């Protein structure tokens, strides 16, 4: 790992020129496929600027089927669409999550109000510290603009203004946040504010994965979280130009979002999503000690996922699974669902049909008769119901042969045999 030292603001122009020249010359090991000239500007939060310039290059190992070594204590990599976990370390341990909190704030806003709603900013929002849009008490502003400020430059005053609009106060909004977290199954999460600035809100990498999947189900959330810059009108000055604080949108090919976070207690954290070849991945990195390495860790995890796994359809709805014997009669079963899975390169895929016990005729088409167990590299990963392809009735019993009345000749022959025995 090359050593890195943050440039001072005075030396930023010289440092940027050196980095760009080195990248072009091939001296610095930049990411394959990234455009070295497409880097985020150094001051992403006008007018006061960022505490330090954004990184202009990612330092990651070559993509490999071997799991990468990441420095962040808790981290998780998963399929954004299915939730399939590809890598995890310390993913169930609770940590402060700083501005990653704002993903839940955005989710609740999108679920409860319209983007076109116009908010009148209250005084409590203007008093919030940290990263700010610069809202004024009494200012009117659409929800849409506040969501861009919330997710791009992590504006804390926007978070409070949105919370006031949705719930009437920040405190009541926090109650909604924790209620929604419980509904999502985020059982190791407790929010304490709409913006995370208080350092009291805690969650886990696994819970934040769950939250990100829920938020990313909204195309509006995805569009906003993946926007690099956005202009917001200012009623008392020049337009407010907000820039996304996620440099992966510039540096990582296919990056789509989602959110960064930092406080002294939480360290540097990032939820990073990316899409390639129809595969959507999400990496959650918490409590990285250095800002740049949090992005490096996220990029290394995403690289591993895209390189080491391939999407495969393990079974398709309606696909024949074979025969199940019911009361001794063969009944064809088909797959009741489709399973698409990220399969490690070279891993064997196996399937086995397990009929339910106690099956009896008749069978109705679509009735579940068992399960098709799907295994990857010898480990069961999913199952689908095996359903009857057609209805099968109880077979009708064979016809009973009734005796017919004997003819007169039969009667005479029987009488003769009785009288004369073996002579007839």
Confirm if 201 and 96 have CB atoms less than 8 A apart. yes
Which residue is listed with tokens 């304490």? 192
- The question of whether 259 is a catalytic residue gets the answer no
User: What is the chain's Cα-based Rg?
Assistant: 33
Q: Which residues pair with 332 in a beta bridge?
A: 323
Confirm if 270 and 164 have CB atoms less than 8 A apart. no
- The question of whether 216 is a catalytic residue gets the answer no
- The question of whether 154 is a catalytic residue gets the answer yes
Confirm if 106 and 191 have CB atoms less than 8 A apart. no
Confirm if 97 and 202 have CB atoms less than 8 A apart. yes
Which residue is listed with tokens 């130009």? 241
Q: Which residue out of 50, 102, 259, 383 is catalytically annotated? A: 102
Taking the chain, what is the end-to-end CA distance rounded to the nearest angstrom? 114
Name which of 284, 123, 111, 96 is nearest 196 in CA terms: 96
Q: Which residue out of 3, 64, 154, 269 is catalytically annotated? A: 154
At residue 216, φ and ψ (nearest 5 deg) are: -70, -10
Q: How far apart are CA 381 and CA 42, in angstroms?
A: 45
- Taken in order 80, 81, 85, 90, the sign of the CA dihedral is positive
Q: Which residue out of 50, 52, 62, 99 is catalytically annotated? A: 99
Active site (catalytic) residues: 99, 102, 154
């Amino acid at each position: 790992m090359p050593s890195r030292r943050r440039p001072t603001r005075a030396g930023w122009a010289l440092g940027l020129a050196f980095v760009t020249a080195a990248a072009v010359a091939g001296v610095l090991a930049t990411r394959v496929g990234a455009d070295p000239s497409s880097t985020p500007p150094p001051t992403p939060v006008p007018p006061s600027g960022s505490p330090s310039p954004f990184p202009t290059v990612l330092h990651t190992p070559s993509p490999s089927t071997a799991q990468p070594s990441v420095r962040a204590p808790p981290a998780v990599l998963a399929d954004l669409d299915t939730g399939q976990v590809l890598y995890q370390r310390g993913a169930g341990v609770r940590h402060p999550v700083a501005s990653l909190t704002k993903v839940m704030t955005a989710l609740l806003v999108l679920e409860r109000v319209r983007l076109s709603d116009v908010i009148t900013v209250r005084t409590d929002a203007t008093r919030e510290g940290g990263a700010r849009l610069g809202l004024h008490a009494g200012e009117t502003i659409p929800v849409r603009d506040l969501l861009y400020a919330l997710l791009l430059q992590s504006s804390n005053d926007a978070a409070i203004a949105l919370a006031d609009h949705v719930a009437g106060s920040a405190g009541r909004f926090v109650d909604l946040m924790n209620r929604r977290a419980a509904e999502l199954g985020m059982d190791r999460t407790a929010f304490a504010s709409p913006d995370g600035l208080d350092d009291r809100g805690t969650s886990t990498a696994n819970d934040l994965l769950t939250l990100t999947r829920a938020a990313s189900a909204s195309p509006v959330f995805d569009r906003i979280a993946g926007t690099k810059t956005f202009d917001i009108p200012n009623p008392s000055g020049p337009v407010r130009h907000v820039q996304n604080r996620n440099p992966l949108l510039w540096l990582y090919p296919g990056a789509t979002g989602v959110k960064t976070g930092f406080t002294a207690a939480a360290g540097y954290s990032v939820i990073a999503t990316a899409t390639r070849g129809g595969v959507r991945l999400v990496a959650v990195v918490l409590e990285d000690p250095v800002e740049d390495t949090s992005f490096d860790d996220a990029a290394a995890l995403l690289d591993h996922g895209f390189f080491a796994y391939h999407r495969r359809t393990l079974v398709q709805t309606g696909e024949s699974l074979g025969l199940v014997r019911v009361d001794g009669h063969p009944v064809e079963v088909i797959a009741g669902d489709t399973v698409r899975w990220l399969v490690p390169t070279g891993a064997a895929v196996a399937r086995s049909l397990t009929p339910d016990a106690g099956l009896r005729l008749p069978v109705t088409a679509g009735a579940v008769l068992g399960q098709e167990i799907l295994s990857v590299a010898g480990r069961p990963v999913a199952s689908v119901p095996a359903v009857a392809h057609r209805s099968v009735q109880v077979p009708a019993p064979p016809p009973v042969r009734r005796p017919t009345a004997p003819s007169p000749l039969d009667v005479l022959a029987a009488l003769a045999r009785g009288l004369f025995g073996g002579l007839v």
